Amino acid sequence: MANSPSGINNFKVVLLGEGCVGKTSILLRYIEDKFNDKHLTTLQATFLNKKLNINGKRINLSIWDTAGQEKFHALGPIYYRNSNGAILVYDITDEDSFGKVKNWVKELKKMLGSDIVLVIAGNKIDLEHERTVPLEEAESYANTVGAKHYYTSAKLNQGVEELFLELTREMAERAERGARADAGRGSRVLVVDDEAPARSSCCGGARSA
Ligand code: G3D
Ligand code: MG
């Protein structure tokens, strides 16, 4: 995260998950409120920006989507490095895609530790009658890895806004905790400095104690 001088918090978020689970659809629903738009298929690996305001704090999300490299198992650390948050998407009608989420969680935890906020999205809930991933299993798994679990339908626009909002809140909270910890460390340094017998002034001349 970069907290720019203008006071805007910039967060990077990556979408991860098997091909065809609906990652691009979720992103386009969130940013443009569209589904199955013609340009969906031509969208390349890149990011889309979204500006938010949470409790008076200005936040800029850069949400990264793939160009389909996941279909060739070709998504490496370069894609998710420096991410503040990851949305791990599976299709509730496809058990393999849920297995893939578990692999991503393992990899992200190994590579980034707990520095990243994870949320899991069970997408295509409009196809509830075709569900193969048991609800309790998905939710209790998410619990065990410290991730929040959401249900979404990019098609019917369900749960998408909430998912991004909650993720952003959590990232903002962590950033604030981090900033407070930094400030705490800063004041300790100041105390030590204060007790030094002599200091040079900002103009370069030594000050006698
Ligand atoms: P991906 O980016 O993860 O590869 P896409 O997935 O967003 O390209 O979506 C893959 C297919 O799933 C698309 O169908 C898309 O319309 C469909 N899809 C995405 N989200 C939902 C949803 O919430 N409900 C339903 N029913 N379908 C969804 P096509 O037919 O274009 O391949
Ligand atoms: Mg896609």
- The answer to whether the CB of 19 is under 6 A from ligand 1 is yes
Across 19-23, 57-61, 173-177, least confident range: 173-177
Helices within the chain (DSSP H only): 23-32, 77-80, 95-112, 135-144, 160-194
pLDDT at 208: 37
pLDDT at 8: 86
Site to substitute for ligand 1 among 16, 18, 25, 37, most atoms within 8 A of C-beta: 25
Indicate the average pLDDT of the chain. 85
In sequence order, the 6+-apart residues with CB closer than 8 A to the CB of 159 are 121, 125, 150, 151, 152, 153
- The answer to whether the CB of 126 is under 6 A from ligand 1 is yes
Q: Which atom of ligand 1 is nearest to the CA of 19?
A: 4
Distance 68 CA to ligand 2 centre (A): 5
pLDDT at 68: 77
Tokens of 61: 């999300």
Contact between 138 and 98 (Cβ < 8 Å)? yes
pLDDT at 89: 98
- The answer to whether the CB of 22 is under 6 A from ligand 1 is yes
In which band, very low, low, confident or very high, does the pLDDT at 28 lie, cut at 50, 70 and 90? very high
Per-residue pLDDT of 32-85, as tens digits, reads 888 886 655 545 557 899 999 998 999 999 999 987 777 777 788 888 999 999
CA distance 18 to 36: 18
Instruction: Reply yes or no on whether the pLDDT at 19 is more than 80.
Output: yes
Helix 160-194 / helix 23-32 crossing angle, nearest 10 deg: 80
For the chain, the structural domain boundaries read 9-181
Instruction: Reply yes or no on whether the pLDDT at 20 is more than 80.
Output: yes
Q: Which residue minimizes the CA distance to atom 32 of ligand 1?
A: 20
Instruction: Reply yes or no on whether the pLDDT at 146 is more than 80.
Output: yes
CATH 3.90.320.10 for domain 9-181: no
Looking at per-residue pLDDT, the higher value among 8 and 63 belongs to 63
pLDDT at 209: 34
Prediction pTM value: 0.85
| Ligand showing the shortest atom-to-Cα distance for residue 27 | 1
Instruction: Reply yes or no on whether the pLDDT at 27 is more than 70.
Output: yes
Distance 203 CA to ligand 2 centre (A): 58
Burial of 115 (0-12, 13-18, 19+ CB in 10 A): middle
Burial 38-68 (b: 16+ CB within 10 A, else e): eeeeebeeeeeebebeeeeeebebbbbbbeb
Q: How much is the average pLDDT of 191-208?
A: 43
- The answer to whether the CB of 20 is under 6 A from ligand 1 is yes
Looking at per-residue pLDDT, the higher value among 86 and 187 belongs to 86
Instruction: Reply yes or no on whether the pLDDT at 156 is more than 90.
Output: yes
pLDDT at 192: 46
Q: How much is the average pLDDT of 93-104?
A: 97
Instruction: Reply yes or no on whether the pLDDT at 189 is more than 60.
Output: no
